[in-house]
Structure 1
Amino acid sequence: MLSRTEGNKIRCLACYRYCLLANHQSGFCGVRKNEDGLKLMVENLPMGINIDPIEKKPVLHMLPGSRILSFGTSGCNFACRYCQNYEMSQRRTPEGYYMEPEDVVSMAIKYKCDGIAYTYNEPTIFMEYAREIGLIAHKYGLINIFVTNGYETPEAVEEASKFLDAMTIDFKGNGNESFYKSYISIPRPDYIYDTINLAFKKNIHVEITDLIIPEIGDDLESARYMLERIKNISDEIPVSFLKYHPDYLLKIHETDFNTLLRHYELARSIGMKYVYIGNVLSRYENTYCPNCNNLLIKREWFSSYIKGIDLNGKCKKCGYDTKIILKKRPVIVR
């Protein structure tokens, strides 16, 4: 377990909250509990099981068109006031279908999936369960994807690197510190950049999303800071700006397209090579060659159509190496 003993208490090492737990006490997430040692209360209890296109995660630069088995659990280490999956994430009573790791992998194989996504709530909080599933999944040639808020500790990223192929790291409100404090109950979002950097160094494929919330989470200076930090890691990390719609406790109007477009244009002006607008049907879903602007992948909602790119990820027009993964790599069982 991701934990260490401190006196007669247990320090959870899954996320940057670093909860210190007395016996019979649960962490902020509600599912990691000290019961004479740290226990995962949602082990073998997945919820919200679905078959999705990989584009829905979104993962846009790895195996476009793939089928992915998606699931989460109850609980979360964030308290987003606009969460679309609040019935799962804000639940503090463990519930779900009883499925051992082998059962999850068997379901993915049965439905001809190419991989498994740990999503809907924060997968870091059920890391040990995900690891057991992920290691088995690799033996059958399936990929593993975390859709995560990025608040993993270095210890958690190290653990994830043993089985994870990709991470979609979700920023909210341009990573603005005041926004995170007020609407997520997170005091220091800067840790997320450490997660991106470490995952990138561990050769985990990283993509970024940013949920743009009108009035309270659409400040362009915050977006500039976020984008500069990401660019310092790599200008080839895909960034998707996502349209918000009201849900759970937050009833602000949905994001208008022009706001999303301003974020897109800012990211391009800063030098990010792959920028997208998500949750909106437009040409800004497509992938273009950063060198010659050739259309590489055309997208319509969650469908992808390979156009001007070869199976090695190179532009057919100019030969630019996009590093987009279009065929499965040999899975390394770590």
Structure 2
Amino acid sequence: MNHPARYWHRLDDGRIQCDLCPRYCKLHADQRGACFVRMREGDAMVLTTYGRSSGFCIDPIEKKPLNHFLPGTSVLSFGTAGCNLACKFCQNWDISKSRDMDRLMDQASPDEIARTAADLDCASVAFTYNDPVIFAEYAIDVAQACHARGLKTVAVTAGYITEAARGDFYAHMDAANVDLKGFTDDFYVQLCGAHLQPVLDTLVWLHHETDVWVEITTLLIPGRNDSDTELQALSRWVRDELGDEVPLHFTAFHPDFKLTDLPATPPATLSRARRIALDAGLHHVYTGNVHDSTGGTTCCAGCGTRLIVRDWYTILEYRLQDDGTCPDCGRPLAGRFRHFDTPFGPRRIPVAIHRGT
């Protein structure tokens, strides 16, 4: 099952170093990296989860969350196991922190995944649930198979990837939702086992050096990353470094994994964060994991017309023109859009992969 890995090199002391993420794990014989799925086998590195998934589901694209990338369409979502961060608040910890490779029961080749997505009328395939950076070889092969069938690809990621690897990885992605987990390095070190700067570097590079459509999500944790000061700093950074039309999602935390001593995020916190970001000059700021039509609605950055009205993952009204412009003032809405007859809706449908030819 092990697949030859890329993004590594040999060290003079006999170890091999993984060059995929900023952890730069240095491995002796048979050791695994911090992500658990990249392992030294002999004198080379292998990916232990290639072709194996924790499950496949059809989701609305808004669940990723992506509000400006093919809204109203469905996406085939899947992940594997492991993660290169160590978030104490992980909402998918049973997948990302799994050390039981036997849980990866769904085996699928890249072409089988792409064919299944096309047969089920999905517009795209999303690498999600755990971070696709750590299964980059598999994600890239699936993305190539998807593009051959006219499907788009989505990376739902923490953005924790090296400069050496990110060009290759994102060359195969059409959209990315990047988790900006907080806006202080202390938060990243204490709660994620990582650092902030590599994530900021990834976001700046994605926006300025690629055609990947980017949206940002910040999970707000009471008392940890939700102060006015931090939210103002985060919002201003997004405005100054990425521009005022990059969508920013504030989503609600619920107690999970190793952070069960805190309350769930009140809806009022999300509304407060949204107002701070709007006051900072961002045009498209959303609330997530709550019923909030105001916080889920996309408005024209020019005239303020409500273009896409949502409640959670449900599109209640869609007024955007087929060419992605406002019907009232003609201003283009930032994003990637295409015509659809009926929105997919809030359904989540587990699916089996289509085998054979």
Q: Same fold (TM over 0.5)?
A: yes
| 2: CA distance, partners of 1:61 / 1:129 | 26
- Count of matched residue positions in the alignment of Structure 1 and Structure 2: 326
Q: 2:304 aligns with which of 293, 296, 300?
A: 293
Q: 1:120 aligns with which of 129, 134, 148?
A: 129
Amino acid at match of 1:157: R
**Residue number in structure 2 paired with 1:183:** 191
Shift of 1:196: 0.7
**Residue number in structure 2 paired with 1:302:** 313
**Residue number in structure 2 paired with 1:27:** 33
**Residue number in structure 2 paired with 1:79:** 86
**Residue number in structure 2 paired with 1:164:** 173
**Residue number in structure 2 paired with 1:150:** 159
**Residue number in structure 2 paired with 1:223:** 231
TM-score under structure 1 normalisation? 0.94
**Residue number in structure 1 paired with 2:221:** 213
TM-score under structure 2 normalisation? 0.88
SS in structure 2 of the partner of residue 225 of structure 1 = helix
**Residue number in structure 1 paired with 2:139:** 130
Equivalent runs, 1:92-103 vs 2, <5 Å: 92-95=99-102, 96=104, 97-103=106-112
| 1: CA distance, partners of 2:327 / 2:166 | 36
| 2: CA distance, partners of 1:221 / 1:12 | 36
Bigger mean CA offset, 112-121 vs 229-238: 229-238
Shift of 1:305: 4.5
Determine if contact 1:124/1:156 at 8 Å carries over to the other structure. no
Determine if contact 1:212/1:244 at 8 Å carries over to the other structure. yes
Determine if contact 1:193/1:230 at 8 Å carries over to the other structure. no
Q: In the alignment, does 2:10 pair up with 1:5?
A: yes
Shift of 1:165: 0.2
| 2: CA distance, partners of 1:104 / 1:253 | 38
**Residue number in structure 2 paired with 1:278:** 288
Shift of 1:306: 5.0
Determine if contact 1:308/1:317 at 8 Å carries over to the other structure. no
Shift of 1:151: 0.8
- Structure 1 67/118 Cα, relative in aligned 2: closer, same or farther at 3 Å? same
| 2: CA distance, partners of 1:220 / 1:41 | 43
**Residue number in structure 1 paired with 2:270:** 260
**Residue number in structure 1 paired with 2:253:** 244
**Residue number in structure 2 paired with 1:140:** 149
Percent identity between matched residues is 34
Indicate the structure whose relative CO is greater, using CA pairs within 8 Å and at least 6 residues apart.
2
Q: Deviations over 1:178-221 (max 9, x none)?
A: 222222111x2121111011112211100000000001221222
Structure 1: 5+ residue stretches without partners: 329-334
| 2: CA distance, partners of 1:110 / 1:10 | 42
Shift of 1:52: 0.4
Structure 2: 5+ residue stretches without partners: 1-5, 340-357
| 1: CA distance, partners of 2:162 / 2:203 | 11
SS in structure 2 of the partner of residue 259 of structure 1 = helix
SS in structure 2 of the partner of residue 175 of structure 1 = coil
Q: Deviations over 1:129-185 (max 9, x none)?
A: 00000001001011100000111112222012321000000122x332222222211
SS in structure 2 of the partner of residue 116 of structure 1 = strand
| 2: CA distance, partners of 1:319 / 1:93 | 53
